[in-house]
Structure 1
Amino acid sequence: MKKEVNQEQEFLFGKRNYIIMLVGIIFITVGFIFMSGGGSEDPNVFNEEIYNWQRIRLAPTLVLLGLAIEIYAILADPKK
C-alpha cells in the first residue's frame, strides 16, 4: 500500500527576494542599454561619441551595481 503524500511546493526564495532580483535585472538591463550605440555608419569616419561619460563611467557602474544587487537578493534571508 502506498500512501499519498500531499506536499505543497515551496519557492526557493521569498517574495522580497524576487522583487530585489527584478530590481537588479533592471539595473543590468539599463546599463547595457546605455553601453549600446555610438558607432558610425561609415567605417572610415571615427565617432567621438563612443567615449562619452555615459558609456565609459555610468553604464559599467550600473551593471556592477546590478550584479551586487543580485548577489544581495540571493543571500538575503527570505523569512525577514
Structure 2
Amino acid sequence: MSKKENAAPTTHTSESLFGKVNYTWMLIGLAVIALGLLLMAGGNSSDPAVFDQKEVYSSTRITIAPLLILAGLAIEVVAIFKKPKA
C-alpha cells in the first residue's frame, strides 16, 4: 500500500479572522482617515499666484486634520485587536 491510500482525508475549516463588527470598525477608521486627508488637502485658492498664510496655516489643516488621521489609525488598531464574539 502506498502512503496516499493510508492517509486520512483532511478537512480544512477556515474560520474568518475578523468578525462583522471588526470590519465595520475598520471601515469607520478608514472613513475618518480619509476625512482627515481631505481636510488637510483643503480647497483651491482664489489666486494661485498669491500666498495666503491664513489658508495654508489654518487650524483645520494644522491641528484638526492630523488629529483625525491619528484617531482613524487608533480606530484601526482597536478594530484589528478586538476579539470577535463567538
- When normalised by structure 1's length, the TM-score is 0.81
- Return the offset for 1:56: 1.0
Q: Give the aligned partner of residue 50 of structure 1.
A: 56
- Match for 2:63: what amino acid? R
Q: Give the aligned partner of residue 62 of structure 1.
A: 68
Q: Does 1:36 align with 2:41?
A: yes
Q: Distance in 1 between matches of 2:67 and 2:78?
A: 16
Q: Distance in 2 between matches of 1:37 and 1:25?
A: 19
1:9 is aligned, of 9, 14, 20, to 14
Contact 2:42 2:61 in 1 (8 A): no
Aligned residues: 78
Q: Give the aligned partner of residue 77 of structure 2.
A: 71
Q: Distance in 2 between matches of 1:47 and 1:39?
A: 11
Contact 1:39 1:50 in 2 (8 A): no
- Unaligned ranges ≥5, structure 1: none
Larger radius of gyration: 2
- Unaligned ranges ≥5, structure 2: none
Contact 2:23 2:79 in 1 (8 A): yes
- Return the offset for 1:76: 0.7
